[in-house]
Amino acid sequence: MEFNPVLKPYQLVGVNFLLLLHQKGIGGAILADEMGLGKTVQAVTYLNLLQHLYDDPGPHLIVCPASVLENWERELKKWCPSFSIIMFHGAGRTAFSKELSSLGKAGCPAPFNVLLVGYSLFERRSAQQKDDRKALKRWKWSCVLMDEAHVLKDKGSFRWKNLMAVAQHARQRLMLTGTPLQNDLHELWSLLEFMMPDIFATGEVDLKKLLNSEDHELISRIKSILGPFILRRLKSDVMQQLVPKTQHVNFVSMGSEQLKAYNGAANEYRAICEARTAKSSGQYPQNVVGLIPKRQISNYFMQLRKIANHPLLIRRIYSDKDVERIARLTYPKGAFGFECSLDRAIQALKNYNDFAIHQLLITHGDAGTKGALKEEHVFASAKCQALAELLPSLANNGHRVLIFSQWTTMLDILEWALEVIGITYRRLDGAPQ
pLDDT, tens only, 61-109: 999 998 888 899 999 999 989 998 888 887 667 667 777 767 766 677 7
pLDDT, tens only, 343-376: 888 888 898 999 998 988 888 866 555 678 888 8
pTM metric for this prediction? 0.67
Question: How far apart are the C-alpha atoms of 364 and 357, rounded to whole Å?
Answer: 10
**Residues facing 114 on adjacent strands:** 60, 85
- CA 403 to chain centroid: 13
**Residues facing 230 on adjacent strands:** 30
Question: How far apart are the C-alpha atoms of 422 and 387, rounded to whole Å?
Answer: 12
Bridge pairing between strands 172-176 and 230-231: unpaired
Domain ranges of the chain: 9-241, 256-373
3-state secondary structure of 87: strand
Question: How far apart are the C-alpha atoms of 128 and 282, rounded to whole Å?
Answer: 74
Other C-beta atoms closer than 10 Å to the C-beta of 422 total: 9
Helices (H) and strands (E) in the chain, counts: 19, 7
pLDDT, tens only, 252-304: 999 999 999 999 999 988 888 888 777 765 554 555 666 777 888 888 899 99
Enter the CATH code of domain 9-241: 3.40.50.10810
Mean pLDDT of 134-150: 88
Give yes or no for a contact between 173 and 195, defined as CB atoms under 8 angstroms apart.
yes
Q: Looking at residue 150, what DSSP letter applies?
A: G
